[in-house]
Every structure is written in C-alpha cells, then in structure tokens.
Structure 1
Amino acid sequence: MDFTLLIVIIVLALVFDYINGFHDAANSIATIVATKVLTPFQAVLWAALFNFAAYFISKFIIGEFKIGNTIAKSVDEHFITLEVILAGLIAAIIWNLLTWKLGIPSSSSHTLLGGFMGAALANAGALSRDGVDVINYAKVLPTFLFIFCAPLVGMIIAYFLTVIIMWICRKANPSRADRWFKRLQLVSSALFSLGHGGNDAQKVMGIIGAAVICYKLDAGDAIYQAADSKERFGMFVEDPHWWWVPLASFVVIGLGTLSGGWKIVKTMGSKITKVTPLEGVAAETSGAVTLYLTEHLGIPVSTTHTITGSIIGVGIVKRVSAVRWGVTINLLWAWILTIPVSAIIAAIFYFLLKAIM
C-alpha cells in the first residue's frame, strides 16, 4: 500500500510540475509576447527550452539542488507521512488550477509550501508536540519574508536598470535602439526562463524527495535510518534508483511551459503596465538576477512575484500612474491568501484521506 501511495504521489507531483509550467509560462514570455518580439508559440517554445536547460546548470555548474532541499525540510520529518504529502499536493494542484482559471498569477511555490505545511499541522493536531515544532522555521521564514522581498528586490533592480539603460541610450536613434532591444529581449527572456526552471522544478524534486525519504524510513531502510536528517536529501539525489527524478522534474516543467497560459500572459503582459522592448529587457533581466540570487541562497521564491515586481519597477520609471495599481493590489491579495488557503485545503484533504484509508 505504501509503495502504491508513493507512486501516486510521484505522478501527482509531476502533474503539479506540468501545471506549474503552464501556470507560470507567462512569467518569462508575457513581455516578449506583448512587445511582439516572438509569436505566442515561438515564445513558449523558447521559454520551455531554457526551462529544461536549467537542469544542466543546477546539476553541473551549481552542483546541487538547494531549493529542493529547502522544500523537503520545510516540515519536521516526525510529522511527514505519505498522506501528508499527498494532501499537500492535492491542495496545491487545486489552488493552481483555480488561479489559472481566474487568470491570477499566483505563486506555485507558495501553494506547494502552504499545502505541505497545512497537511503536516493537521497530522500533528497542534503547533508542536513533545517540544518539537512541526514547521522548520529556519527554512520557512525566509520563504515567507521573500513573498514581499522578491517583488521589491525585482522592482528596485528594474527601476535602476531602466534608468541606467535610458541614460546610456539617450542619444541613440529610437528606431534602431528599439530593434536592438527586441533582439536583447531574446537573451533576457532566456535568462529568466533559466531562473524559472532552476527555481520551480526543484520544488517538485523536494516533494518527491520528501516522499521517498518517508517511504524509506517507514520501510526500515537501515542506510536512511542511520543517516542524519540533513544528509538524507543528498542521499536521495545521489541514489542511482532515483537519478531520473531531477531530470523528469525539469523536462515536465518545460512541457508545461510549452502548453502556455494565455490568461495569465494577458495579465502580466498588458494589464499591469504597457511594456516596451527596452522595459521588457530591464524587467526580465532584473527578475533573472533576483532568481539567481535566491537560488544561490537556497530560498524558494515565487517567479510570479519576482517578474511582477520587475514590471512594476519599469512602469514607475515613466510615472507612478503608469502602473495599474488596482490590478497590482488584487494580485497582492492573491499572494497573501495563497499559503493560508492552500494550508486549509490541504488540512481538509488530509482528514478525508485518513478517513478513507
């Protein structure tokens, strides 16, 4: 039964990964479509290619999967069961599909984290047990903090980068400069897609890793039981039986991106502020820098929040009123509600699963 449940979790995790791809496709292609640098199909193909390429950067250049490790350790292992992970995944999938249907660019990262924590708290029945906290606050608090910090950092970088670019190009021929920035958008979009793949695919790895570790411990695997809790995720990544999980996570998110997410593309590409090729380059580059920084720190941030903040940053350069603040405030509410709503949904599903199983 446990092995069957493990397989169900892995399949659902990859389903979530696919949904994450088309839900967040807009993050890296909205501006490039809005400025008509690429057609929608060309844009998603471009983004999907670099989503997958991020695997090789994480594996062979960075040499580790820090964000996957953070997700796997966001909840104390004493409160993780296969039912907890399954309930968290179901909640995350429901919230992602709902926000996609409504065209709201919410965070796939935070819905996954919220679902995981909500189900674990339901399992514990309280905030702590025997002096052990359910939530690993050292891992989770930076993620909570970056709900606000990631868009702010993206906005600040985008603002100053836009100002610098405009100053450098102040004497340039407008038509010629526009052509150059359209070409540069291919580069900036690719950079952001690399960051998106490296950041988001690892979150699914983290969930699958937590499920495999839980299964191994329940099965009495002596090697996993003897290892320190800090070492187990690394053992999972290096385990020859599970070598395909990182690769599959990056492939599936790329396939999801290839499916697109046109409702969210419209919100990101035109409803927040009108974006020119110059501004698209600044926004995507700023978002990419923020993602690379947080990936280096091992903090799973929202690519959605990051690029939204960057788009706001380039809009403010023109004038504060160029940003449609009504749309932005609605997005902010969705960001704030994502973790608690996902946690509540996951807790409900956890109790349902326990009643059924």
Structure 2
Amino acid sequence: MTTALVLVLAVILTALVFEYINGFHDTANSIATVVATKVLNPTQAVVLAASMNLIGALAGTAVAKTISSGLIDAEVVVVSSQLIICALSGGIVWNLITWWFGLPSSSSHALIGGLIGAALAAAGNNFDVLIWSRVAEDWTKSQGIFWKVIVPMISSPVAGFFLGLVMMGTLMAVISAMNGAGGWIARISRPRWVNALFGKAQIFSAGYMGFAHGTNDAQKTMGIIALALIGAESAGTLDNLPSWLAFMHPGDSEGIETWIVVTCALVMAAGTAAGGWRIIKTLGHKMVKLHPIHGFAAETSSATILTLAAHFGMPVSTTHSISTAIMGVGVAKNPRALRWSVIQKIVWAWILTIPASGGLAWLMFKGLEALGWT
C-alpha cells in the first residue's frame, strides 16, 4: 500500500470523523425541538432523524458539488490529501470546542472555513486560490464564496427568523379566531387539543427537518470524499487497488457514489446518538420554552429554507436556520420569553466559526509544511 493511498484513506477516515462530530453537533439541531416538546424521546427522534437523513442524502448532490468544486480554484493550488485533512481537522477542532460549551455553531461553516484556511496555506496566502464570485446568467447557478457562502449565510438566518415569526403568528391568529367562534370550534382550540394536534403534526415536521438536513448537511462530507477520490484516481493512486478496496474507484466524476452517501448518513446518525444532548438543551430549552405548536412552526420553517437552499446547491447552516426559526417563533409568542444572553453567545459563535476554523486549518497545514509532509 503506497503512501499516497494511505493519505487518501486518511482523508476518508478524517471526513467520517467530521461527519460523526457533525452528527452530535449539527443533527442535534434538527431534532432538538421535537425532543424538547416531549413529542418524541431522544431514541425515537434519532431513529427518525437518521432515516430521513438517509432519504434526504439520496435526494440530490448539488451541495456536494459546491463543496467539491465551487469554492477552491484547483488551477491555483493542488487539492492534496494533506490540504483536505487539514481542512477537515480545522472544522473538527472548532466543532468540538463549540460542542463542549453547548454552542450551536455551524458545522457547514466550520468545514468551509477549514477549506479556505487550508487552501490559503497551501497557496502561500495567494487569495486567488479562492473562487470569490463567478456570476451566471441565472444567478441561482452563480459560483463562488460570495454566492454560495456569504449570501446564504446572511439570508438564511433572516429568512428563518421571519418565516418562523410569520408561521407562528398565523397559527396563533387562527387559534385565537377559533377560540372566539364559540361552541365546539372554541373547545378544540383549547391548549389540550392544540398540544395533542400539533404533537402529531410535529412528527411530520421533525421528519421533514431530518430530510432537509440530509439534503444539505450530509452532502458536505460526501463532496469532500468524492473530491479526494476523484483526485486520487486522476493521479493514478487508485490504479492498483487491492480487490477489497475496489469500491473506491469513482464511477462518475459528476456524481456521488452510493456507498459514500449511505456511509455518511449512517455515521452522522451514530454521532447524533452519541452526544448531541448538550446542544439539544441549548436550542430546545434555554432559548425559549417550547410546546408542540412552537416546535412544528420552527421545524417547518427551517426545513423549508434548507430544502430550497439544497436545490440551489447552497451549503446553508442547519444551525442558523433552526436557531433563528426558534427565535422568530419565540418573538411571536412573547419577545420577553427569549433568553437574549444565550442568543448573544450563539451569534458570537456564528461570527467566529469561519475565521476560527480557517485559522486552525491554516496553522495545521503550515505545521505539515514545516515538517516536510506536504
């Protein structure tokens, strides 16, 4: 087994470690509300999230293609196994730091920041290595950091907040109107009936959230693994693979192999089961007290944003969309119900994620370079 092949295997292993950590860091966000409202227990929520993640992951590869080819210019720098390992490691370290403190920062942006930092280090701080903006006639097909990272990074939290606010406000208005109608209509608008109805509805919204998470987050690591395998195939690293590793040959450079999709989805589910409770508590309990109707509104709002973003190949943060949707729901319920000190910590985690993970990845690559391992 050659050194180059060992490095490719190390990339895959590191990517799966990132996906595992993404599981207990980000997938926790997708099930936080349904657990907090006690509609499902954690085990049931994990099973639902894992199943829908898998289905969502199989639904498309637009986000994976953005990660693998839309941010870093391969003509300026060689996208080596070492670069990818450093990018992933930068994201992993930052995710672990924020997980330890229970802060739902974005694994998506941690990965993107890691890619940017490692690529800059490999290119000798030549910023031309970054694809800033490539405008297409159809703006939804534009490429680069501006269109695929900055625009959705700003727009998705705003959209999440207002969609959550509008949906919750609409539901409250309908219930209020029913309550004023009198008779049996008023009776079914009482809290007991509302909680029972939306307790059932939230199972649907939680499944929708899991599906949306799969269409977006699960694809990011798939893109990294696919990028590593395509590069290895081009370099001839996979020419003499042993039979038990023959599945590593990329069948189509435009697609993502099924084994990558399934493996990433399963590893993410395992991570969810392992340690997401810290972040579930922050989102589901500390920001605002949630009932099933609030969870339904937040999940449906967030999942809609994620699904639309995945359609356009935008690696949107699940954390941002669900957190701001919960904020919007909380404001509709009662602005004073929000715990602004917790929100302030979350916002700072958002702001710091890309530069922090990028800085870590940059330092890691420079360390390898100093040791002559690049």
Give the TM-score normalised by the residue count of structure 1: 0.89
Question: Hey, what's the Cα distance between the residues in 1 that align with 2:330 and 2:251?
Answer: 42
1:210 maps onto 2:205 in alignment: no
SS of residue paired to 1:274: coil
2:302 corresponds to which residue?
287
Which is worse superposed, 277-286 or 315-324? 315-324
Deviation at 1:257, TM superposition (A): 1.9
Deviation at 1:248, TM superposition (A): 1.4
Are the equivalent residues in 2 in contact too, given 1:25–1:260 (CA < 8 A)? no
One-letter code of the match for 2:224?
A: I
Question: Hey, what's the Cα distance between the residues in 1 that align with 2:315 and 2:198?
Answer: 30
Deviation at 1:195, TM superposition (A): 0.8
1:226 corresponds to which residue?
none
1:199 aligned to which of 185, 194, 216: 216
One-letter code of the match for 1:341?
A: A
1:150 maps onto 2:156 in alignment: yes
1:181 aligned to which of 168, 178, 198: 198
Deviation at 1:32, TM superposition (A): 1.3
1:44 maps onto 2:46 in alignment: yes
1:76 aligned to which of 66, 73, 89: 73
Distance verdict in 2 for CA 1:259–1:48, change over 3 Å: farther
Distance verdict in 2 for CA 1:149–1:272, change over 3 Å: same
1:25 corresponds to which residue?
27
The 5 A counterparts of 1:247-258 are 247-258=262-273
SS of residue paired to 1:36: coil
1:8 aligned to which of 7, 10, 18: 10
Question: Hey, what's the Cα distance between the residues in 2 that align with 1:7 and 1:312?
Answer: 41
SS of residue paired to 2:6: helix
SS of residue paired to 2:252: helix
Are the equivalent residues in 2 in contact too, given 1:54–1:250 (CA < 8 A)? no
Are the equivalent residues in 2 in contact too, given 1:44–1:259 (CA < 8 A)? no
Deviation at 1:221, TM superposition (A): 9.4
Higher Rg of the two aligned structures: 2
1:124 maps onto 2:114 in alignment: no
Question: Hey, what's the Cα distance between the residues in 2 that align with 1:72 and 1:238?
Answer: 11
Which is worse superposed, 268-277 or 36-45? 36-45
1:136 corresponds to which residue?
131
The 5 A counterparts of 1:336-347 are 336-347=351-362
1:53 maps onto 2:52 in alignment: no
One-letter code of the match for 1:140?
A: I
Deviating above 4 A after TM superposition, structure 1's stretches of 4 or more consecutive aligned residues are: none
Question: Hey, what's the Cα distance between the residues in 2 that align with 1:243 and 1:288?
Answer: 24
Are the equivalent residues in 1 in contact too, given 2:46–2:269 (CA < 8 A)? no
1:297 aligned to which of 296, 312, 320: 312
One-letter code of the match for 2:146?
A: L
Question: Hey, what's the Cα distance between the residues in 1 that align with 2:41 and 2:311?
Answer: 32
One-letter code of the match for 2:48?
A: W
Residue-pair matches, total: 335
1:264 corresponds to which residue?
279
Question: Hey, what's the Cα distance between the residues in 2 that align with 1:326 and 1:45?
Answer: 32
Question: Hey, what's the Cα distance between the residues in 2 that align with 1:197 and 1:88?
Answer: 21
2:363 aligned to which of 337, 348, 351: 348
More helix by share: 1
Deviations, residues 80-119 of structure 1 (Å, cap 9, x unaligned): 2221111111111111111111111010000001011101
2:252 corresponds to which residue?
235
Deviation at 1:168, TM superposition (A): 2.1
Which is worse superposed, 200-209 or 280-289? 200-209
Question: Hey, what's the Cα distance between the residues in 1 that align with 2:322 and 2:33?
Answer: 10
Are the equivalent residues in 2 in contact too, given 1:147–1:335 (CA < 8 A)? no
Question: Hey, what's the Cα distance between the residues in 1 that align with 2:94 and 2:40?
Answer: 30
Distance verdict in 2 for CA 1:238–1:343, change over 3 Å: closer
Question: Hey, what's the Cα distance between the residues in 2 that align with 1:52 and 1:221?
Answer: 28
Question: Hey, what's the Cα distance between the residues in 2 that align with 1:97 and 1:302?
Answer: 17
Question: Hey, what's the Cα distance between the residues in 2 that align with 1:306 and 1:157?
Answer: 10
SS of residue paired to 1:137: coil
One-letter code of the match for 1:256?
A: G
Question: Hey, what's the Cα distance between the residues in 1 that align with 2:54 and 2:213?
Answer: 10
Give the TM-score normalised by the residue count of structure 2: 0.85
Question: Hey, what's the Cα distance between the residues in 2 that align with 1:243 and 1:272?
Answer: 38
Question: Hey, what's the Cα distance between the residues in 2 that align with 1:265 and 1:119?
Answer: 31
Question: Hey, what's the Cα distance between the residues in 2 that align with 1:298 and 1:48?
Answer: 22
One-letter code of the match for 2:92?
A: I
One-letter code of the match for 2:316?
A: V
Question: Hey, what's the Cα distance between the residues in 2 that align with 1:234 and 1:292?
Answer: 27
Aligned Cα root-mean-square deviation (Å): 1.9
Are the equivalent residues in 2 in contact too, given 1:162–1:279 (CA < 8 A)? yes
Question: Hey, what's the Cα distance between the residues in 2 that align with 1:219 and 1:354?
Answer: 23
Gaps in structure 2 of 5+ consecutive residues: 134-143, 179-188, 240-249
Are the equivalent residues in 2 in contact too, given 1:127–1:134 (CA < 8 A)? yes
What percent of counterpart residues are identical?
41
Which is worse superposed, 43-52 or 335-344? 43-52
